[in-house]
Amino acid sequence: MKGEYLRKYLVMGSRNCDYDPLLVLDKAILGGITCFQYREKGEGALKGEAMYSLGHKLRRKCAEADIPFIVNDDVELFGALNADGIHVGQSDQSVEEIRAKYPNTIIGLSVSNRKELDQSPVQLVDYLGAGPMFATTTKKDTKEVIGPEWVKEVKHLYPDVPVVGIGGIGPENSERVIKAGADGVAVISAITKAKDISAVIKSL
């Protein structure tokens, strides 16, 4: 995966939106996102048929706009939606298993500290998600805030692996993440909760 796809990476599920997620995605695509992750998580998250149905619609919009469509965690959903890639955390299905089954798909892996990085099969992934960069209330079980210095460390150790920062990122602090060496910023609430989604994406 080229690092430039990570530049403005919207992560989103129905729980993150105050109105129709399909409309939010439309606005975000118009605003200039470069990648999308369907992350159907949190209290009241859709399950089963409702999750698949929304996933299909979001997937179609990304395909039409030529934006990579990544699914969070759920390998079955990833397969059913014919997604471009899957993003996993440290305690999800192992990268080795996913790579063995899907040699050519995009795999992203979250790394929140040096210990996690050292135990990760970095050679098998297409990009790393580094976070949380800043405090966030969007995800309840985040690891300790580690800050943009973490991006610098990851890039120093793996200069050729694309890295996207995540966690508490918005227009006011995205520059710090990029200046630390990130290929891009992954954002939920700063985009999904914005009054003017286009303006926020432009200023990221």
Contact 99, 124 (CB under 8 A): yes
Q: Which is nearer to ligand 3NM, 166 or 177 (CB)?
A: 166
39 is catalytic: yes
Q: How far is the CB of 168 from ligand 3NM (least distance, A)?
A: 4
Q: How far is the CB of 183 from ligand 3NM (least distance, A)?
A: 16
Q: Which distant-in-sequence residues (6+ apart) come within 8 Å of 149 by Cβ?
A: 180
Query: Which tokens in the block code for residue 132?
Result: 């949380």
Report DSSP state, residue 86: E
Torsion of CA 122, 124, 126, 128, to 10 degrees: -30
Contacts 24+ apart (CB under 8 A), 117-122: 117/154, 117/157, 119/90, 120/90, 120/95, 121/95, 121/96, 122/158, 122/161
Q: Does 189 bind ligand 3NM (CB under 6 A)?
A: yes
- Applying CB under 6 A, the site for ligand 3NM has a residue count of 18
The one segment of 59-67, 119-127, 134-142, 174-182 that binds ligand 3NM by CB under 6 A: 134-142
Site for ligand 3NM in 144-173 (CB under 6 A): 166-169
- Dihedral sign, Cα of residue 196, residue 189, residue 93, residue 157: positive
Q: Which of 139, 155, 174, 176 is catalytic?
A: 139
User: Which of residues 110, 163, 174, 201 is near ligand 3NM by CB under 6 A?
Assistant: 110
* Euclidean distance between CA atoms 71 and 185, whole angstroms: 17
137 class by beta-carbon count within 10 Å (0-12 exposed, 13-18 middle, 19+ buried): exposed
Q: Which is nearer to ligand 3NM, 129 or 148 (CB)?
A: 129
Q: Which is nearer to ligand 3NM, 162 or 168 (CB)?
A: 168
Site for ligand 3NM in 4-63 (CB under 6 A): 11
**31 a known binding residue?**
no
What residue numbers does the annotated binding site for Mg(2+) cover?
73, 92
Footprint of ligand 3NM on this chain (CB under 6 A)? 11, 110, 112, 129, 131-132, 136, 138-139, 142, 166-169, 187-190
